[in-house]
């Protein structure tokens, strides 16, 4: 078995088709007629742009108008029009007397080296784009034809050193069972496109091109990043079974994509998704989410060298709001500390980081950073249905302090005539025992609750959520956590506000009947769990969840609860 990075889920079984990189042997001979070479280059650029637009159209059709993915290719047009690139090539022809192909090759290699020196994923992707552009441009100048992937036999598994976006546009994707390549990772365009086209893909498989011969049988497991070349009959049998089960599950779940989220007896609940950036908002909608119940904004602050500006944040929040097109977008303010460090903020190491300078405690201390974020959120609220959510609340005083800051920003925006949603809803995460116990009081201060079971479980049970030595104690099915959840939802409803849940427990099939019985209004889950959660909710009636909850409330041990609920869902 060979291993790589599984970048597009699913199991593909078929015959290998090896795509050898087109060699593009480029002559280094010096030339005299520089003008003719410049003309040759300019003509090739025009042809390249025309060809790119045709490929974009083809890809867009294949993806049912999903232009975002097709625009991956459009990037190459921007690259080729970049004056730095064109002037580099022309200077190599006129000054160094290189022929057009060699000038393109040298300029592309130079640009690749610049991008490689940044050493991050996005830049590495740029390198792949430049390589694809280089090969296509040289092929045009040499009069070479594309590798023809337009007619493939059934169940073809594409094997290549690298899959370029231009190849995917021409692929007869209906007959492709899987994709394997030596280069590329989760964020490479090949992965993005494979996911959009739902083709199982495993990338970064070392030396795959030399480990397999054309026509050999191969299995691609895109979930686990595994590749089997010439599998034994027993492996083949196992994987055929797995493939059948996987394909049936996907087909079954797809039935829920455009459906409302309702119980079997017709009670409607809201099913939202958790995201970490604006791009994921589009994925959430595509995956069937009705809105966003948690936008973890700390990711905008992590993986950076400095604080994001108000403008950067505003653009990101606005982008998500616009993509959601009126659907709810719950933006959680900065939740750092605990296990989420942001090195450039210079936070001191603490003995108990989860009990320390975290989330709202940090924000109320660094009002400058908090105000910048809240201003960005408020400005973005003019473009969609945004709600503000505050993490790690332990007291009413904190909520009042936040509201005071928000009111101050609103006054300033009013003075400057800057648009924002004047009825913006402000809610809190209930994820500490203090907030849970005081939920009746807190409910009168805010517009909504969202239960953060990841933290609520760790704080209620005094179990560090990341410590494997005590992981056996960490369970949201512990009766103490369940009672807390019930109490929080009751307090919300008594005060006439909605209660949601954005911790992982919202997608736990064992927890769902209890949450339905408690009357949870909104389930917010990881994007990949949206359809499963909708299906699970649809399988229960009010009568069943009432009976199950009554039994659960009689148990005193986590094991009793989890065993009982596991039996219930197995029935």
Q: How far is the CB of 524 from Mg ion (least distance, A)?
A: 12
Within 10 angstroms of residue 449's Cβ, the number of other Cβ atoms is: 30
Does position 427 interact with ligand PEP (CB under 6 A)? The reply is no
33: Cα separation from own chain's centroid: 51
Taking the least distance from each CB to ligand PEP, the nearer of 132 and 335 is: 335
Q: How far apart are CA 98 and CA 102, in angstroms?
A: 6
89 binds, among Mg ion, ligand PEP, none (CB under 5 to 8 A by kind): none
Q: Candidates 144-152, 218-226, 364-372, 453-461 — which segment interacts with ligand PEP by CB under 6 A?
A: 453-461
Does position 452 interact with Mg ion (CB under 5 A)? The reply is yes
CB under 8 Å to 479, separation ≥6 — which residues? Answer: 552, 553, 555, 556, 557, 558, 561
Q: Which of 455, 464, 536, 558 binds ligand PEP (CB under 6 A)?
A: 455
Q: How far is the CB of 237 from Mg ion (least distance, A)?
A: 44
Does position 296 interact with ligand PEP (CB under 6 A)? The reply is yes
Does position 453 interact with ligand PEP (CB under 6 A)? The reply is yes
Residue 159 in contact with residue 221, Cβ under 8 Å?
no
Taking the least distance from each CB to Mg ion, the nearer of 120 and 467 is: 467
| DSSP character at residue 144 | P
3-state helix, strand, coil in the chain (%, to 5): 55, 15, 30
List the interface residues with Mg ion, window 343-402 (CB under 5 A).
Answer: none
Q: How far is the CB of 397 from ligand PEP (least distance, A)?
A: 21
Q: How far apart are CA 291 and CA 274, in angstroms?
A: 9
Reply yes or no on whether 189 is catalytic. yes
Taking the least distance from each CB to Mg ion, the nearer of 77 and 431 is: 431
Does position 529 interact with ligand PEP (CB under 6 A)? The reply is no
Does position 14 interact with Mg ion (CB under 5 A)? The reply is no
Number of residues that bind ligand PEP (CB under 6 A): 10
**Residue 414 burial (C-beta neighbours within 10 Å; 0-12, 13-18, 19+):** exposed
Reply yes or no on whether 502 is catalytic. yes
Does position 503 interact with ligand PEP (CB under 6 A)? The reply is yes
Does position 455 interact with Mg ion (CB under 5 A)? The reply is yes
296 binds, among ligand PEP, Mg ion, none (CB under 5 to 8 A by kind): ligand PEP
Does position 502 interact with ligand PEP (CB under 6 A)? The reply is yes
Does position 338 interact with Mg ion (CB under 5 A)? The reply is no
Q: Candidates 146-154, 225-233, 405-413, 452-460 — which segment interacts with ligand PEP by CB under 6 A?
A: 452-460
Q: How far apart are CA 270 and CA 283, in angstroms?
A: 18
Within 10 angstroms of residue 66's Cβ, the number of other Cβ atoms is: 17
- The beta strand positions in 285-358, using DSSP E, are 292-296, 328-332
Taking the least distance from each CB to ligand PEP, the nearer of 183 and 340 is: 340
User: Concatenated DSSP letters for 184-227?
Assistant: --TTSHHHHHHHHTT--EEE--TTHHHH--TT-EEEEETTTTEE
Q: How far apart are CA 394 and CA 439, in angstroms?
A: 10
Taking the least distance from each CB to ligand PEP, the nearer of 308 and 452 is: 452
Q: Which of 75, 86, 454, 563 binds ligand PEP (CB under 6 A)?
A: 454
Which tokens go with 504? Answer: 């992982």
CB under 8 Å to 405, separation ≥6 — which residues? Answer: 367, 370, 371, 374
Local structure of 488: helix, strand or coil: helix
CA atoms within 13 A on the CB side of 408: 12
Q: How far is the CB of 484 from Mg ion (least distance, A)?
A: 14
Q: How far is the CB of 476 from ligand PEP (least distance, A)?
A: 9
Q: How far is the CB of 418 from ligand PEP (least distance, A)?
A: 30
> Binding string, 330-359, against ligand PEP, x = CB under 6 A?
-----x------------------------
Residues engaged in binding Mg ion (CB under 5 A): 431, 452, 455
Residue ranges in contact with ligand PEP by CB under 6 A? 294, 296, 335, 431, 452-455, 502-503
Mind telling me the catalytic residues? Answer: 189, 502
């Amino acid at each position: 078995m060979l291993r790589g990075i599984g970048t597009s889920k699913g199991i593909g079984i078929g015959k290998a088709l090896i795509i050898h990189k087109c060699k593009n042997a480029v002559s280094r001979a010096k030339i005299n007629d520089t003008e003719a070479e410049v003309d040759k280059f300019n003509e090739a650029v025009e042809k390249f742009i025309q060809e790119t637009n045709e490929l974009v159209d083809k890809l867009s059709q294949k993806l049912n108008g999903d232009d975002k993915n097709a625009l991956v290719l459009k990037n190459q047009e921007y690259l080729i029009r970049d004056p730095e690139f064109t002037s580099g090539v022309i200077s190599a022809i006129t000054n160094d007397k290189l022929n057009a192909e060699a000038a393109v090759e040298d300029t592309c290699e130079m640009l690749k080296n610049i991008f490689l020196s940044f050493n991050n994923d996005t830049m590495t992707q740029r390198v792949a784009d430049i390589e694809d552009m280089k090969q296509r441009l040289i092929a045009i100048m040499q009069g070479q034809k594309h590798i023809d992937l337009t007619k493939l036999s059934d169940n073809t598994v594409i094997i290549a050193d690298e899959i370029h976006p231009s190849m995917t546009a021409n692929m007869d994707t209906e007959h492709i069972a899987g994709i394997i390549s030596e280069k590329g990772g989760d964020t490479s365009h090949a992965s993005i496109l494979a996911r959009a086209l739902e083709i199982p893909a495993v990338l970064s498989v070392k030396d795959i091109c030399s480990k397999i011969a054309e026509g050999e049988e191969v299995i691609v497991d895109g979930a686990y990043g595994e590749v089997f070349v010439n599998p034994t009959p027993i492996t083949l049998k196992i994987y055929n079974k797995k493939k059948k089960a996987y394909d049936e599950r996907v087909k079954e779940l797809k039935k829920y994509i455009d459906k409302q989220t309702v119980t079997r007896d017709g009670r409607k609940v809201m099913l939202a998704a958790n995201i970490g950036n604006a791009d994921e908002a589009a994925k959430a909608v595509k995956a069937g989410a009705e809105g966003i119940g948690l936008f973890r904004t700390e990711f905008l602050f992590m993986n950076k060298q400095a604080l994001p500006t108000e403008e950067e944040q505003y653009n990101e929040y606005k982008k998500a709001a616009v993509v959601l097109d009126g659907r709810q977008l719950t933006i959680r303010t900065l939740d750092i500390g605990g296990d989420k460090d942001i090195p450039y903020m210079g936070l001191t190491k603490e003995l108990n980081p989860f009990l320390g300078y975290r989330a709202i405690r940090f924000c109320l201390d660094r009002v400058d950073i908090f105000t910048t974020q809240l201003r960005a959120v408020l400005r973005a609220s003019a473009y969609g249905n945004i709600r503000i959510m505050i993490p790690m609340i332990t007291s009413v005083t904190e909520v009042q302090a936040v509201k005071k800051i928000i009111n101050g920003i609103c006054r300033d925006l009013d003075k400057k005539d800057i648009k924002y949603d004047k009825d913006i809803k402000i809610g809190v995460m209930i994820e500490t025992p203090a907030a849970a116990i005081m939920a009746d009081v807190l409910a009168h201060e805010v517009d909504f609750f969202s239960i953060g079971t990841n933290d609520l479980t760790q704080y209620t049970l005094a179990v560090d959520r990341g410590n494997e030595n005590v992981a056996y104690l960490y369970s949201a099915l512990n009766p103490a956590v369940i009672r807390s959840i019930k109490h929080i939802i009751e307090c919300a409803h008594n005060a006439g506000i909605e209660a949601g849940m954005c911790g992982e427990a919202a997608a736990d099939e064992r927890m769902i009947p209890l949450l339905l019985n408690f009357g949870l209004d909104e389930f917010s889950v990881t994007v990949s769990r949206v359809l499963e959660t909708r299906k699970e909710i649809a399988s229960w009636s009010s009568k069943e969840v009432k009976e199950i909850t009554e039994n659960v409330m009689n148990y005193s041990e986590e094991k009793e609860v989890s065993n009982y609920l596991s039996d219930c869902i197995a029935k």
